[in-house]
Structure 1
Amino acid sequence: MIEMPPLQFAQTNGIRTGYYEAGPISDRPPMVLCHGWPELAFSWRHQIKALSEAGIRVIAPDQRGYGATERPEPVEAYAIEQLTADLVGLLDHLKIDQAIFVGHDWGGFVVWQMPLRHPGRVAGVVGINTPHRDRAPIDPIAIFRERFGDMMYIVQFQDPAREPDRIFNSHVEATFDAFMRKPLPRAAAAASAAEQPIAGIGAAPKLNLAFPQMVEAYDGRRDARTPILTEEEKQVFVDAFRRTGFTGGINWYRNMTRNWRRSEGLDHTVHVPSLMIMAENDAVLPPSAADGMEKLVPDLEKYLVRNSGHWTQQEQPEEVSAKLIEWRRRRFG
């Protein structure tokens, strides 16, 4: 039986946002849990339960373009200014002055931007897998293209013809069957990669980042990795994305160049207590990506979750929840 609080709605920053809330309203500061791609607030189901039972107020929105939240048509509606303003609007709706923002994957990029753009609303930040970095010296899409080639999924997402959108929209169940699995041990991943390219996601020595084509060719019968979702949990994601499609979330990537251009001159120093939770076996966002963060985040604690790939809060939910509770109590009472 899947446990989630009732779905609620708020008008935030010009859109209707769907969100879930649990725990005592008197608890301050609450923790706002921000998901990544391709995910939902549902990705935090384990933490919502554990944190609220520990007496911590938690709020988990379906972010702009996802799930129960509206999906504006213009690509520029998904720029970082809008994504951070959505979270401010949610605090305003709930009459909350400050919150601790917790983000995984793309949600991590957003929460690290919160203290830079809305410092008065942020008590603390937790990044899960996603590190905080200084502004890139050149357009990040140019960096991805140079390092990984034109087939790298983020580069493909820039295509205005939206071919990646069509592929994901027509292979919804395969997307979650392929993505939401534990990585293989490195030796096994190397042995199986030649037979089944998708089997090496998050584990193969040479990572294949052509995700649309990998999903299109995916055959779950040949995938040796262990699913991290039950069939019931997977169906929640499948039903949501069959209804909404993937374009809303992909539009976040289509603003990376715009975000980079408009961040020129922005001080990237984070001046609030921060926690960086890293996953040992995440090949897309490895622990090494967090090296040197202390220069930009002076009040930083790091924590490594072993035996976890990219979907850390779902792969190792008890450990992630326990660390969030321990850090929250120690730093904020």
Structure 2
Amino acid sequence: MTSPTSPTVHHFPAPTLVAVNGVELEVFEAGRHHAGRPIVLCHGWPEHASSWRHQVPALVAAGYHVIVPNQRGYGRSSRPTEVTDYDIEHLTGDLVALLDHYGYDDATFVGHDWGAMVVWGLAVLHPHRVNRVVNLSLPYQERGEVPWIELMEAVLGDDFYFVHFNRQPGVADAVLDENASRFLRNLYRKDEPPAEPAPGMVMIDLARAGTPRGEPVMSDDELAVVVSAFESSGFTGSINWYRNLDRNWHLLADVDPVVHQPTLMIYGARDTVARSQNLAAFVPDVEEVTLDCGHWIQQEKPEETNQAILEWLRRRDG
């Protein structure tokens, strides 16, 4: 349970450790009295289950059993040492095992950022365990002719952070570990003034920047929860998700790439993540919504996010 020294987010459920798939996940759940209507919320990088703090009460009020894991590499969840333990088979396997733990055949899965990447993977690797998909920020990534990191390296260069994480293992990890509080404070911003793209590795630069830009996404207390978690865990486990992108590309080679489940895709109008130009080609039963915000959609626009999700779920239930 929560130790007296851990910062907490007001009204966020207390965690339990759940053994799944050869690891332990720190899981926050609410609304168990709504058993039979599970919804699983999957955070991104470098995030924490508490990124869904505004969605949990609204979903419980709407009659859902809400399950929010810190995924492997995060918080007090296990941090295996092998890089390959963070590939898409392991990450989706954790979510399948979480459903098994609660006795559910399937659930609605909601993902943001990297969490969306895992939910897309889950929908194609374990289609019978996913009844509906809601993803934020990151649209479905088409598996092209060239592995993803190879492609990014060719198009975006060595300093693009996805490439840097892969080609210079340990370098960024050390800088982020050393500057966890500053990095996270500088990263979690909204309404940032426009700036010319700078040379260098953006995440390392953020970790070293003296002054944050724009406005904070979180209160000091909310940010303290995330900072405390990463000061304890370090960043390597979470960055290892990036170090499996090309491995994931190979693992998905023979999988039906079409997401057949009903899907809601929520974009931020000012998000730096590119929108999909052909989402319906791979996600035929999709509705797309755009909110006036940046990347941290459910934290920047909590009410609008909740309204979009709940309205869509109601129509799908109806």
TM-score by length of 1: 0.89
User: Which residue of 58, 67, 73 maps to 1:59?
Assistant: 67
| Residue aligning to 2:147 | 139
Question: Distance between the aligned counterparts of 2:271 and 2:312, measured in 1?
Answer: 22
SS in 2 for 1:303: strand
Question: Distance between the aligned counterparts of 1:213 and 1:134, measured in 2?
Answer: 28
| Residue aligning to 1:298 | 284
Question: Distance between the aligned counterparts of 1:271 and 1:224, measured in 2?
Answer: 40
| Residue aligning to 2:232 | 243
On the 8 A contact 2:43/2:113 being kept in 1, the answer is yes
| 1:167-223 CA distance string (max 9 Å, x none) | 100010111111100032xxx42xxx3xxxxxxxxxx5x476722331243012xx3
| Residue aligning to 1:171 | 179
SS in 1 for 2:146: coil
Read off the aligned partner of 1:273 and give its amino acid letter: P
| Residue aligning to 1:154 | 162
Instruction: Trace 1:205-244 onto structure 2 (pairs within 5 A).
Output: 206=197, 210-220=201-211, 223-244=212-233
Question: Distance between the aligned counterparts of 2:163 and 2:84, measured in 1?
Answer: 17
Q: Identify if the C-alpha distance between structure 1 residues 324 and 161 changes in structure 2 by more than 3 Å, giving closer, same or farther.
A: closer
TM-score by length of 2: 0.93
Q: Identify if the C-alpha distance between structure 1 residues 209 and 56 changes in structure 2 by more than 3 Å, giving closer, same or farther.
A: farther
Question: Distance between the aligned counterparts of 1:14 and 1:321, measured in 2?
Answer: 33
SS in 2 for 1:254: helix
- How much has 1:50 moved relative to structure 2? 1.6
- How much has 1:271 moved relative to structure 2? 1.0
| Residue aligning to 1:78 | 86
SS in 2 for 1:177: helix
**Structure 1 residue 94 and structure 2 residue 94: aligned?**
no
Read off the aligned partner of 1:293 and give its amino acid letter: L
Q: Identify if the C-alpha distance between structure 1 residues 292 and 174 changes in structure 2 by more than 3 Å, giving closer, same or farther.
A: same
| 1:35-83 CA distance string (max 9 Å, x none) | 0000010110110122112222211100011002100000000010000
Question: Distance between the aligned counterparts of 1:332 and 1:33, measured in 2?
Answer: 18
Number of residue pairs the alignment of both structures matches: 310
More displaced stretch, 118-127 vs 206-215:
206-215
Read off the aligned partner of 2:266 and give its amino acid letter: I
- How much has 1:160 moved relative to structure 2? 5.2
On the 8 A contact 1:282/1:309 being kept in 2, the answer is yes
| 1:241-267 CA distance string (max 9 Å, x none) | 000000011000000111111211211
| 1:134-185 CA distance string (max 9 Å, x none) | 212101111111222111111110135410100100010111111100032x
Question: Distance between the aligned counterparts of 2:221 and 2:26, measured in 1?
Answer: 21
| 1:76-113 CA distance string (max 9 Å, x none) | 00010000000000000011111011100000000011
